Amino acid sequence: MQKRLNEGTIVYQIYPRSFQDSDGDGIGDIRGIISRLDYLRELGINAIWLSPIYKSPDDDNGYDISDYCAIQPHFGTLQDFDELVAEAKARGIDIIMDLVINHTSDEHEWFRRALAGEEKYRDYYIIRKGKPDGSLPNNWGNFFAECPWTRLGDGDEYYLHLFSKKQPDLNFKNPAVIEEIKGIMKFWLDRGVAGFRCDVINVIYKNTLDDGRRSFILTGKEHYLSTDGCHEILKELRRECIEPYGAWTVGETVFVDESSARRLTDGELDMVFTFEHMEVDQIIVKWFKKKLRPGRLMRTLTKWQRVLPHGAIYFENHDQPRFISRLVGAAGHHRAASKLVGALTLTLGGTPFIYEGQEIGMTGGDFKSLDEIQDIESHNVYALAKKLHIPRRMRMKMISRTSRDNARCPMQWTAEAGAGFTSGTPWLKINPNHRHINVEAQIEDSDSVLSFYKKMIELRRTHPALCRGSFTSLYESDKIYAYQRCVTSEQGLGIHSVFETIVVLLNFTNKTVRLPRALMKYAEREPIISSTGGKGDRLMPFEARLVYGDIIL
Ligand SMILES: [Ca+2]
């Protein structure tokens, strides 16, 4: 079957709660997404990754699933979903589902039956007695800064949860669990979805439950990160579920290093999301941030371009604070810096992922107090920081800067109250800057961030060097990043060989900078595009410019 992932694929991630509300309850929904498909077609993307829309008690906004084959009622119905797939297909857009299988919700029928003592379902989860001295089964850590073991009912047993206590981990040593997952994948593939984004997929298989090496971050992770068992399961799912449908997968792979990333994309997943470039401004953990040093970002990007030339390219998602806010903070140059993020996303090698609102330069949230934040992880970390006697102002600064809610604020469609997102009360505070950062204000403006994204997507689509060329870094400093994408005869497809080289010049500062000597030859060349209208030997603040490079035969 023909593969539905190709070099022209550009993915747009939708966080359904925050994209478009159609019925005024303040929560985005499937009918809202359907009403915006024309907008997405105009933007030029051809695949949508939907964050979870399954039935869920919403303890972790849908990443805690209580029924994998039903739609969360506030998002709509299966009928709405089928219509979304069909309407998207009619516009040349595929739908990718979020596959969250490390854990279920504690309200999933399997877990209820495990709790009721049914042996079959007890073996779907990881249930252990405490140690003889009365302590927990092991010393592991937890991704949400909770204790990873919670007592099962009133007995002396505990169940493992690497995330919230309402997200019990499944037991992937049980073949029956793997069969259930295959059934779920086929259920959605049969409805026409083109693939899956696989949530924390490299932690699903726990080798042992032994105590872990004491570590500041996630004690015990050596027992479950990218284990052999995980690799085997991914191969099996690919062979039996993904390949027969021509579908594709992208894995969210935590703490992934170069060798495990290579292995995870060798006959297992089509690509993985790596994290290192998202961590260049953090001090040990994401809650402590320092100034983003562009040079460090560039070195990291260049390294991963070499390791995974066909990886997943992203700078924003539903878990990360908006990249524009990390790059320039509250300082000006919003338009130019937002375009720079767009140029990076759409000129590196791999499959680009654009997160909703990135295409208009949406910024982080405007949170004044903890009450305005919904995210479970933020509340847990705030409580932990309080316990550690971190002062209140600093706690709030940590949270407001790094909370996942920064990326989850409702999409800013218009300047009106409700931002065109809802006619009711939004589930999460809308950033007041929607009055000037919104789709309506940008859609007719040929110099807007949105128009730049459209042009860049079109360029990527029409230039083989951008969609499949090799990557070579030409220059890296804290000010300028320059690289070339190049297609040579060997890479040309079909009878007519293609030769093309495109050089990307990016100014990461808020000042005009002169091209260094190594790049001076490109000063003379007419820009294919410049985000600021610049040309010649100086790059304007945050300018992104593309010129033709020398053809390599
Ligand atoms: Ca709604």
- Contacts of 79-83 with C-beta under 8 Å, sequence gap 24+, read 80/29, 80/30, 80/31, 80/34, 81/30, 81/53, 81/191, 82/191, 82/192, 83/30, 83/34
In angstroms, what is the span from residue 181 Cα to ligand 1's centroid? 29
Residue 171 lies in a domain: no
Residue 161 lies in a domain: no
Q: Compute CA distances 37 → 48, 305, 469, whole Å.
A: 10, 31, 30
Residue 511 lies in a domain: yes
With a CB cutoff of 8 Å and minimum separation 6, the contacts of 240 are: 182
Run means of pLDDT, 10 residues per run, the chain, 553 residues = 88 98 98 98 98 94 95 98 98 98 98 97 97 94 92 92 96 98 98 97 97 93 97 98 97 94 96 92 76 92 95 95 85 91 97 98 91 88 88 87 91 98 97 97 97 98 94 97 88 63 96 96 96 96 96 73
* pTM across the whole model: 0.95
Q: What is the pLDDT of residue 480?
A: 97
Q: What is the pLDDT of residue 402?
A: 85
Residue 521 lies in a domain: yes
Give the C-alpha separation, 129 to 136, whole Å. Answer: 8
What is the number of residues in the chain? 553
Are the C-beta atoms of residues 354 and 12 closer than 8 Å to each other? yes
Residue 430 lies in a domain: no
Burial class for 46, CB neighbours closer than 10 Å (0-12, 13-18, 19+): buried
Q: What is the pLDDT of residue 495?
A: 52
Q: What is the pLDDT of residue 289?
A: 77
Instruction: State how many domains the chain has.
Output: 1
Residue 491 lies in a domain: yes
In angstroms, what is the span from residue 33 Cα to ligand 1's centroid? 10
Give the C-alpha separation, 133 to 276, whole Å. Answer: 40
In angstroms, what is the span from residue 56 Cα to ligand 1's centroid? 15
Name the DSSP class of 412. -
In angstroms, what is the span from residue 443 Cα to ligand 1's centroid? 24
What pairing do the DSSP bridges indicate for beta strands 67-71 and 54-55?
Answer: antiparallel
Active site residues: 199, 252
Q: Which CATH number does the domain housing residue 483 bear?
A: 2.60.40.1180
Q: What is the pLDDT of residue 70?
A: 98
In angstroms, what is the span from residue 24 Cα to ligand 1's centroid? 6
Give the C-alpha separation, 12 to 92, whole Å. Answer: 13
**Which structural domain range is residue 471 located in?**
465-548
In angstroms, what is the span from residue 427 Cα to ligand 1's centroid? 10
Q: What is the pLDDT of residue 496?
A: 55
What pairing do the DSSP bridges indicate for beta strands 538-539 and 513-514?
Answer: antiparallel
Residue 208 lies in a domain: no
Per-residue H/E/C for 330-371: CCCCHHHHHHHHHHHHHHCCCEEEEECCHHHCCCCCCCCCHH
Q: What is the pLDDT of residue 494?
A: 55
Chain position carrying tokens 């699933």: 65
Q: What is the pLDDT of residue 330?
A: 64
Q: What is the pLDDT of residue 490?
A: 57
In angstroms, what is the span from residue 407 Cα to ligand 1's centroid? 19
In angstroms, what is the span from residue 445 Cα to ligand 1's centroid? 30
Q: What is the pLDDT of residue 434?
A: 97
Q: What is the pLDDT of residue 553?
A: 67
Q: Which residue intervals of 348-443 are DSSP H helices?
A: 376-387, 392-402, 439-443
Residue 493 lies in a domain: yes
Give the torsion sign (CA, 10, 15, 18, 22).
positive
